[in-house]
Amino acid sequence: MTTAILSALPEEQSSLVAHLAHSQRLMHAGRAFWLGDLHGRRVVLALSGIGKVAAATTATALIERFGVARIIFTGVAGGVGDGVNVGDVVVAQDYIQHDMDASPLFPRWEVPGYARSRMACDVGLSALLLEAAGACVSSAGSQFGLKPQALFTSQTPPHRAHHGLVASGDRFVCAAEEVQRMRSALEGAGHHVLAVEMEGAAVAQVCHDYGIPFAAARTISDRADDTAHVDFPLFVTTVASRYAEHMVLAFLQKL
């Protein structure tokens, strides 16, 4: 049984590749896939690419070409829910595409042909990922050492692991006003979004099509607000890879 570990960014993948035993790199569909053993588990590591279409292609290749039994996604995201702060982790319960809108033919956010707007993640895998995320955030301060002043101040509350709805769309959200608009529209329809990113909903939909269990953990790199374009690269270059490494290794131990 092979587990696919998808990362959004090379910075998040590099430490996982370094831990890989018996590694083999294969090119397929213009992408690199790393096969090997991680903590005694057979895995394939891949970069999703950025945005929904790239992520859907990668997920399809993982299933069709590499026959993976499950897909786990680790990446970063913008925190939009109340109390979802930089350095927290959000484990997705389900996914919505915030830019899906075929109204008035279909209700806003509904994925045509699926009779639903949300794609659920696998309950069992998500529970394991949430445990791994909880352990990771509680030791983040002491273990990761690097604490960029701009992101983690003495006022920063203790990091938390959250579980809930994540929204994906083909845009980097970096305006407080846009977050407000997105949140109030979605909340009006009963969708309480914790975080926003650009790939997860596409992978969730592909996994739904193939009946493959999927779970995702997103570390909060920014608040999707007017400083997101500064916070995001700082977080990615300093701490994102350590989060991904700790979370994935803890998860594989529990699997």
Least distance in angstroms from the C-beta of 8 to ligand SAH: 4
Backbone angles phi, psi at 125, to 5 degrees: -65, -40
Nearer to ligand SAH, 36 or 168 (CB): 168
Is 11 a residue of the active site?
A: no
Binding positions for ligand SAH, rule: CB under 6 A:
8-9, 50, 75-78, 172-174, 196-199, 221-222, 224, 228, 232
Nearer to ligand SAH, 173 or 186 (CB): 173
Q: Report the residue number whose CB is nearest to ligand SAH.
A: 78
Least distance in angstroms from the C-beta of 137 to ligand SAH: 17
What gap in Å lies between CA 36 and CA 167, rounded to an integer?
31
Least distance in angstroms from the C-beta of 1 to ligand SAH: 27
Is 94 a residue of the active site?
A: no
Nearer to ligand SAH, 75 or 134 (CB): 75
Show contacts of 27-36: CB within 8 Å, 24+ apart. 28/61, 28/65, 29/57, 29/58, 29/61, 29/65, 31/57, 31/58, 31/61, 33/61, 33/62, 33/65, 33/66, 35/66
Least distance in angstroms from the C-beta of 215 to ligand SAH: 16
Nearer to ligand SAH, 88 or 197 (CB): 197
Across 159-171, b (16+ Cβ under 10 Å) vs e yields bbbbbebbbbbee
The CA-based angle 166-237-180, given to 5 degrees, is 35
DSSP 225: S
Number of helices and strands in the chain (H, E)? 8, 10
Nearer to ligand SAH, 62 or 167 (CB): 167
Marked catalytic residue, from 88, 94, 222, 225:
222
Least distance in angstroms from the C-beta of 163 to ligand SAH: 18
Marked catalytic residue, from 11, 12, 110, 225:
12
Which among 99, 143, 134, 125 is positioned nearest to 207, based on CA atoms?
A: 125
- What number of other Cβ atoms are within 10 A of residue 184's Cβ? 9
Which residues belong to the active site? Answer: 12, 222
